[in-house]
Each structure stands twice: as structure tokens, then as C-alpha cells.
Structure 1
Amino acid sequence: MLKAVRVDDGYTNLLLPAAIARHGLSGRDAAFVTELASGTIRRQGTYDAILAACVDRPLRKVEAKVLDALRLGTHQLLGMRVPTHAAIDTTVTLVRAKVNQGAAGFSNAVLRKVAARSLDEWVDVVAPGTGHAQLAVAHSHPVWVVAALERALGGASAELPALLDADNVPPRVTLVARPGRATRDELPGEPTTLSPYGVTLAGGDPADVAAVAEGRAGVQDEGSQLVALAAVEAPVEGRDEVWVDLCAGPGGKASLLSALADERGARLLAVERHHHRAALVRRAVGPAPGVLVVQADGTHAPLPDGSVDRTLLDAPCTGLGALRRRPEARWRRTRADLADLVALQAALLTDAVRILRPGGALLYATCSPLLEETAAVVTGAVERLGVVVDDLAPVLPDVGDATGPLPGTLQLWPHRHGTDAMFMALLRKE
């Protein structure tokens, strides 16, 4: 798993289910492997600082597969309830099998040093003092991400440690009942507090739930459910028949939108640029009669001007609001990525405004709280495109403590709401 993420730019949350199924794991074994892989990647920054204090050379000079194994061993020693002898022995055996005896002896010596202190004791050693650099090591985030999240919190910067902590807590699995196809009552688990369609699973494999296996329900973070709900519940003037999901892949929001569209007699056009993601959308929405999935560029949507009543633009972004579920994103994204992403977001928003009719509703959303991708993009649209920001609070009245960076916008947070850090802005065409 670590090699696939490191070498092939794989995504942990997509690779894990396939790997677990391929090896026939279930129950506690599947949970153990999930935590071992995800937790090691999630806490990589902290573990690398600890390992650097335990080796006699720069970490960049440690062979990559040996470093992967040392990270796995360190997570077992400091982040899981694995006995010390078992964590060291399994790691050393792995290195011996994959590299050589010399590397195994080196790993044994390093992990014995790691085992001499607890995680909290090590953090005091490798991350003394205060400031962004200390928080970055202690909470395993790049320094630039720590600074960007602090800016996004605005006046609530005292919450920064709580937010960074929340990014390191594995999320519980949340299911969504697609209206008209499943009811929340038939799903096992505790009802979500903000979405009327969700439940939180206490454990087990979601694929074992009948409604999920039949495509009538799915796995979807509560924040993502709220984005779809906001796009549907925003009031429109006049006709309400043509809906568009402008960046529909991989299909979670499109599936919920299609179910809601069926209930309201509307049609949904799901637009996705990439072929493989468009295929995922088709698979997710299934044979719904009022849905058309189109592979097309959302910056040049195949629709006439002013022809759409509702548009959801869940724009491609850094994904730094979903670090609980996508632990590798914090190490993969750089500040340099922002310029291209912001330009794409602005281009997508320009065409979303073009196809929206006056009186319709456009919901702009990102799975990122970074101000460059939220407030700056929306402010640019207001200045360039003649749109206004409408107040989202009445649309989602049960969502509290979620004031966004611009008046009328909403910002969800993992440490406040237990969701991904979704940003939402409701735009109207004047």
C-alpha cells in the first residue's frame, strides 16, 4: 500500500478496499490493515521526525522500502496497541525478506530506539517550542498547510490544534439513503445529526448492507450529503426542471441529486471530463431514468446560455478538507498547485454562470477551506460575472457554527461538525 501511494500516486481510500478483498481479509484483520496503512501515511511527518532522531544518516539516504517499513513499525509502536516485540519482529522480518540482512539489522536497532519513548515523549523531543513548525511536526501536516488552515480559521485560530488533531482521526463510515430508493430506517447505524439521509456505521463492511449492495444507498460523508442538499433546497424562481452537476465524478453527489430529482420531476445532467470518472458516475447513478451522464469539459459545458435551473459545481481542489479520508493529500499537494487549481475553479465557475438562468441557483463548493479556493474565487466571480452571493443559512438551518469567510457562505469543519471541511456559496445571476 505504501509503495503504491509513494510510487504510483495511488489513493489510500481507493486502494485499500481492493487490497483487502484481494487478500480475503475481514473483521478485525481488515480493520488492522486499514489503520496500519492509513495511520502510517497520516502520521508520516511526525514519524519521519522521530526516525531522523534515531538514525545516523539523513532519511533521504535510507532506501525507500526500508523507510516505508520503518514507518510501519513506528506506527505500530507509537500509534497502535501492538506489543513492542511483535512490532519490531514483524518489521525486521519484512525488511530481511524485501531487502537484506544488513538492512534488517539496521531496522532492528532503529526501532529499539523508537520504542524507548512514547509518542507524546517523542513529540516533546522532536517538536519543541511553538509556532507553525512545531504544530507541523506534532500534528503531521506540512508547514504551509498549517499556515493556510490558520488563515482559513480566521478569528478562530485558537482552534487550529483541534482542527489538526481532527485531521488525524480516522472518520467513521457514513451511509446515505437515496430518497425514493431507500429509507434511513433500513440502514444500520446511528442517524446523522445534520443530514436527514445519513447514518453512521458502528462497524462492519458497508457492502454487506443490502441497500448499499443494491445501489439504493451508498457511502458518503455527511458534509458531501449537505452539499447536495443545499444545491437542491436553495429556492429558485419559476421553473425547476433542469439540474446540472458540472464536475460529477466520482458520482456520490450525482447519485443523491438524481434521487432527489426523481422525486421532484426534474432531470439531471451529470458532466464529467475524464473518461474513467465518467464511468464511475454512470455506475454510481445506475439506470435512473431522468439522468444523463456526459463526458465533457465543464469549462465548456454542452448547454445553451441561461438554460439551467440548478447547478452544482463541486470544483476540483487541493482536497485539504478531507485529510481524514485522504491522508496522502497533505504530502502530495504543494503551494504551487494552488495557481492552476484556482484558475480551473474560476474557469468552471464562469461557465456555470453562463448556463444558469436568472432566478436559478448555483452552488459552488470545494472540499477545501483554503481562502484562495473559497473566498477569493467567489469574490472574483462577483466582480467579473455579475453574480451575487445569497445567504445559505436559511437553506441549511440545522447547520450551526459554520459561518464562512464571506457573508452568506458556509464552512464546515471536521473538529466542529465531524464532517469534511466543505465550503459552500450560493450564487445568483442578476
Structure 2
Amino acid sequence: MGDTDEQEQRHRRLTAWQRSGRVLARMSADHTLAGRLAALAADAGTVHDLGGWTDVYGGGVVAEVERRTAGLLGMEAAAFFPTGTMAQQVALRCWAGRTGNATVALHPLAHPEVHERGALTSVSGLRTVHPTTAPRPATADEIRDFPEPFGTLMLELPLRDAGFVLPTWEELRAVVAAARERDAVVHLDGARLWECTAHFGRGLPEIAALADSVYVSFYKSLDGLSGAVLAGPESLVEEARTWRHRYGGQVFQQYPAALSALLGLERELPRLPSYVAHAKLVAGALAEGLAGSAVPWFRVHPEPPHTHQFQVWLPYASDVLDEASVRQAEETGVTLFRRWFAAPTGPPGLSFTEITVAAPGLEWTAQDVRAAVADFVTRLHEEETRLQEEAAPPQGEGARAGATPQA
């Protein structure tokens, strides 16, 4: 698919999602510029004094985000970064210098390995190793028994590409203890740490206290525009500010992102436990609906979800599933599924999607979910039939092609 075709498809999807009266979540990128700007202008004054001066290379509202986040995590200090990719590269580079070991142990499905084009190695000069390749968090034994030294253990909580999965609290503590036994520091990729408290049954400060440093994002779960924070000891954060400048992250003004971060902390953060609880209902109803449908196989993973996000797997090509999903949104005003992706490994024709349950999803009952599943499966089979008919030769063509010419 060319760039123009992909842009047209994206416009079609965004239009369908925006016009849907019923969705499980409305993502921060699903809005028009006018809508996003109007909402920020209308709400920002509730979380910060708009009579103050704009930030200039930090300070002002950016410093307020740093102070607020450090307090929420129970950390000494925090630094605001334009992206989480930069924040984590800086953190891991700083720890490599302090430990004298540039090797980082992390999961092969962790964000730096899957979504950053090898940045840790090519940009920061770090080396990565994988204590496990299983699609789950590493165990304490795997950390303890790994056959080569590493300076930093990076834990992604939750592990998004394995299905937003988390260890138990006891397992997490054991993994951290195993790293300490090896004299390694622990860094948390907490892009989605905000929604982990319900699963662990612990508050953010207690979770963050297990680690030496923590990164958190403001747009993935808190509906912010962009931005991230690296939190940890004062000395580490001061060093990180220096590297932030060197990496090009000393942005002149960031007040829109900072204001949206404060709004997320004020409004979305307290609601995340309710999203996590309702995601369990949605996942269960999805499984019931698919089990009672004509699809030959499915999987909801994990079941129940560990956070307010989880995966659904189906044995169909991603483009077929995408078309059925967008048609459902266009024709019924119900968005059940968003994008589908081909499985990275395994047999062809297997695809997955990621489900997020946020404020709009709280309105869905189990029956609403099951009804939406039934309607989606009907459209899925219609799309399959249409593609099969398009691929079939015209009626009679085979007979004509094999006919013997008359003398």
C-alpha cells in the first residue's frame, strides 16, 4: 500500500472512530486540531495558573509537572523529556557510566528492542541481552542464572508486546532481588505504570521504590499530547538533564504538552482503576461472544486482563479484519475493534488487535459487548465472501479456457 493509500485509509478510520457514538476508548490522536486545542484551552486553567509566563527551556509549568510526578512516584527528582525513547536512552546511558557496564538486560519484546530501530546500540553505545525469550516477564531464576554480567536490568511494566502482561507482586520483588544479588541497578520502563497499581495491590510509590529509576509517559494512558518524565535520585536526574541537552531534548517551550500532562494526572490517573476493573468485564464478554460465534478460533490475552489493555487474536488476515472493523464503525456507529496487525511469528493468516478500555468503555454492558461481537463477525464473514468472489474467475471462463478449438 502506497503512502497516499495509507493516508486515505487512516483518514477513513479516524473519521469513522470520531463519528462513532459508542467506543471503548477515545485515543488522544483521534481528534482534530481544532478539537484538541479547544479542549486544552478550556481545561488547562483548572490545573495551572494561566496568568504565569510560558516555560523557556524548562521551568514554569514544565517544572510543575516534574515536581508533581516525582511526588506521585515517591522519587527525589524528575526531569521532563519530549519522548520516552530519549528519556530511557539517557537513563540507561547514565547507569552504564555509573556501573561501568554498558550491558542492559531486558526482554526482547521490550519497547527499545521492538520499536526504536536499535537506538540503544546505534545511538547510545549500549549492548542488550535477553534473560528470556518467552512471551512473558522474566523470572527471578532467569535473572539470577543468566550466564553473563549486566549493569542494568530494565523491566517494562506492563510488557506491552506480550499482551500488556505483568508479573505478580511477589514475582516482581523476587526479580528485583535477583538483580540486586548481581549488583545490577534496576530501571522501570513505566510508560504504562500508572495503571499497574490495581494488579499489584500497591501504590505508585511502593512500586517505584523497587527501582533505581523510573520512566513514565503522559500520552499512553493519561490522554496527554506528548512527553515523559524520568524520575530517580537527584544526582542521576541532574546528570540526565545534561544528556537531555546533548540528545537534543532541551526544547524551547513545551507548555501545551506540560499542561495536558497535568490534566492527565488530575483527571485520568484517579479513574484508571475503574478502567482496569471494567476491562475484565469487557474481556470476558468478548470471549463469550466469540465462543458463541462462527469464528473457528480466537484468544483473548491475558484473560482476565492485567491492566485496562489486552489483546484479541483471530485467524484472519489483518486487512480483512480491518475492513470489517471500520465498516462496523461506519455503518452502526459502534467501534469495537480498531487496527489489526499480522502476527509477527507463526503461520500466516493470524492477526491480533489491542483493546483499550477507558472512560467511554465504562458505559458498555456485557450484553453490549456480545451484541457488538455478533455484528462484527457477520461483517467479517461478508468481507471474506466478497474477497472470495472477487478472486474467483468469471463464470464459464474455466470451461472456455479448456475447450478444444473447432476445426
Q: Quick check: TM above 0.5?
A: no
TM-score in terms of structure 1 length: 0.31
Please identify the structure whose Cα radius of gyration is greater.
2
TM (norm. structure 2) is: 0.32
